[in-house]
Amino acid sequence: MDFNELINKRYSCRNFAKRPLEQEKLLTIIDQARLAPSAVNGQPWFVHAVSQAETMKKVITACTGLGMNRFIHQAQAFFVVTETRDKLISTTISKIKKLDFQTIDIGIFIAYLSLAATSQGLGSCILGWFNEKQLQEALNLPKSEKVRIVIALGYPESDEVKPKKRKSLNQISKFH
């Protein structure tokens, strides 16, 4: 799959098949996303890959508050991405420059995870709607380990990809 095909194929999948997901695929995705760039190579990310039934239930509860994200009941796995601020140099530069590099880094990492999932033939949906406390309890995380995003994963029920609604080139770019 070339890059153009890959970015067009990735979409927020909200209809997963009941087909089980192979652990090796999850490992491959994380291994590929590991190569993402980050400020001063800080790599401030950690992935909790969830596929065991009991933990899946807890993650689903944590991401479906107020009736949101109901579709994730069909997901076959989740990545819960947390932030590790263990590189002092990166946090120090962030403070000096008043730019939250760690959040930018994690955003890039999440994009890599999503695209890697697509390249493995999987559907994925990034979930920003979650209860952090419930996730920390489900995964036995210390309060200091901040949850940044959850990604629902599974084989898509259909191959159909909806057309993308995006701003035009003019709206998002200017050549100087």
Ligand X SMILES: Cc1cc2nc3c(=O)[nH]c(=O)nc-3n(C[C@H](O)[C@H](O)[C@H](O)COP(=O)(O)O)c2cc1C
Residues engaged in binding ligand X (CB under 6 A)? 11-12, 14, 69, 125-129, 164
Least distance from ligand X to the Cβ atom of residue 130, Å: 7
- The bridge status of strand 123-127 relative to strand 77-83 is unpaired
Structure token pair of residue 156: 């898509």
By beta-carbon proximity to ligand X, the closer residue of 75 and 127 is: 127
Residues with Cβ within 8 Å of 66's Cβ and at least 6 positions away in sequence, in order, are none
By beta-carbon proximity to ligand X, the closer residue of 141 and 150 is: 150
Main-chain dihedrals φ then ψ at residue 169, nearest 5 degrees: -55, -40
By beta-carbon proximity to ligand X, the closer residue of 98 and 166 is: 166
Main-chain dihedrals φ then ψ at residue 154, nearest 5 degrees: 170, 170
Least distance from ligand X to the Cβ atom of residue 131, Å: 12
Residues 78, 52: Cα–Cα separation, whole Å: 10
By beta-carbon proximity to ligand X, the closer residue of 140 and 158 is: 158
Least distance from ligand X to the Cβ atom of residue 161, Å: 8
Least distance from ligand X to the Cβ atom of residue 176, Å: 28
